Amino acid sequence: MLGVGSAEGAEQQVLLAQQPTLSKTTIVISSGDYLWSVPREGGQARQPTTAGREEYPAFSPDGTQIARQHRCPFVDFCVQESLGTSGRS
C-alpha cells in the first residue's frame, strides 16, 4: 500500500498499489486508474502521467521510458513515453 498525505495531523489516504514495476531508481504502480511513481529509497509519490485509466506499467530496458495500457471506451491501447528530463524520474 502507498500512503499519501499532506498537512501535519491530517488523515492519510491509503492507496492500493497494484501492478508494480521497477527500474534501478524508481517504482511505478497502478492505483485508482492512475500511475504513481516513488523513488526506490522512499519519498514522495507523484503521478508521472495524468491521463487516467492507465494500468500495467512496464519500464523500458534502460529505465528511461515507461509503457502502459490506456483504457478507453471500446478500445485499449499501449503508450510509451519518457519519464522526464532526468531519464529516471
For residue 4, is it within any domain?
no
For residue 5, is it within any domain?
no
Q: For residue 13, name the pLDDT band (cuts at 50, 70, 90).
A: low
Q: Is the pLDDT of residue 34 over 80?
A: yes
21-28 long-range CB contacts below 8 Å, 24 or more apart? 21/57, 21/58, 21/59, 21/66, 22/59, 23/59, 23/63, 23/88, 24/63, 24/88, 25/63, 25/88, 26/59, 26/63, 26/83, 26/88, 26/89, 28/57, 28/59, 28/66
For residue 75, is it within any domain?
yes
- Global pTM reads 0.65
Quote the percentage of the chain above a pLDDT of 70. Answer: 64
State mean pLDDT over 29-36: 86
For residue 59, is it within any domain?
yes
For residue 21, is it within any domain?
yes
Q: Is the pLDDT of residue 84 over 60?
A: no
Write out the residue range of the structural domain in which residue 21 sits: 15-82
Q: For residue 88, name the pLDDT band (cuts at 50, 70, 90).
A: very low
How many independent structural domains does the chain possess? 1
